[in-house]
Structure 1
Amino acid sequence: MTTAAVKLLTVLFFFFAVSLRATATNGESCGTSSIQVQTMNTGARAAGGDTVFEVQVKNLCPCSVRNVRVDGGGFATTVEVDQTLFQAVDGGVYLVNAGEPIQSMAAVSFRYAWDHFFQMTPRSLEVEGQC
């Protein structure tokens, strides 16, 4: 199977999985599975030589969500991260976007630098109003 075919199948599987998880219509609540956290190596290096990573926290819920929190997986960085985008709140838990709403299919991104990436997982969220 070619690389292009594998990528296409991966994308199709992703959209199929998202369609199964998006359950916020008719008053049902979206859960942490509605939040996608991706970490990508930017290929850049920080001043100290650490690799720069970009994290994208995306809302796959058909509703706006707020107070999105993620487990940081031992998060550390050698560069400053904008506290309004990603802020430690309690014992390895981080608040995304200062708790402000993230619209459906929108993402919040930030960068950090370290010698390896950190696996971050959604912990909690609140669905905005009725959708």
Structure 2
Amino acid sequence: MTDIHDYLAEFDDIPGTRVYTAKRARQGYQLNQFAMSLMQAENRERFHADERVYLDAWPMSAEQKQAVLDRDYNRLLDLGGNIYFLAKVFASDGLSFVHAVSTMTGMSVEEYQAMMMDGGRSPDGVRSIGDKC
């Protein structure tokens, strides 16, 4: 029988992917609550008026707050952010989902759209972070 910790550790070995586990959910709870607060126009206005002040009202880690300020979506995922909640952040900046996600891949919007229209990333290539070495 496989140990649950060994099983969950396998999720961290998928290149370019962050599996949203219970551990990430706990880590990102306040971050995701902040993001959901942006569903209300009043909160979006307060956030954009002074992002640091708005973020400091949330019990998030300093690293999470800085990643929000930097709009570093990949780092936010590493810190427990859920992409569906983080969508509220980039939508509040006027970005489409496609635009925001393309920045996470290092591709232009056009390159990202073309890749997705062609069926997405190829299943061929590096399948394990350990294989990169």
**TM-score scaled by structure 2?**
0.23
**Whose strand proportion is higher, 1 or 2?**
1
Whose radius of gyration is greater, 1 or 2? Answer: 2
**TM-score scaled by structure 1?**
0.24
**Whose helix proportion is higher, 1 or 2?**
2
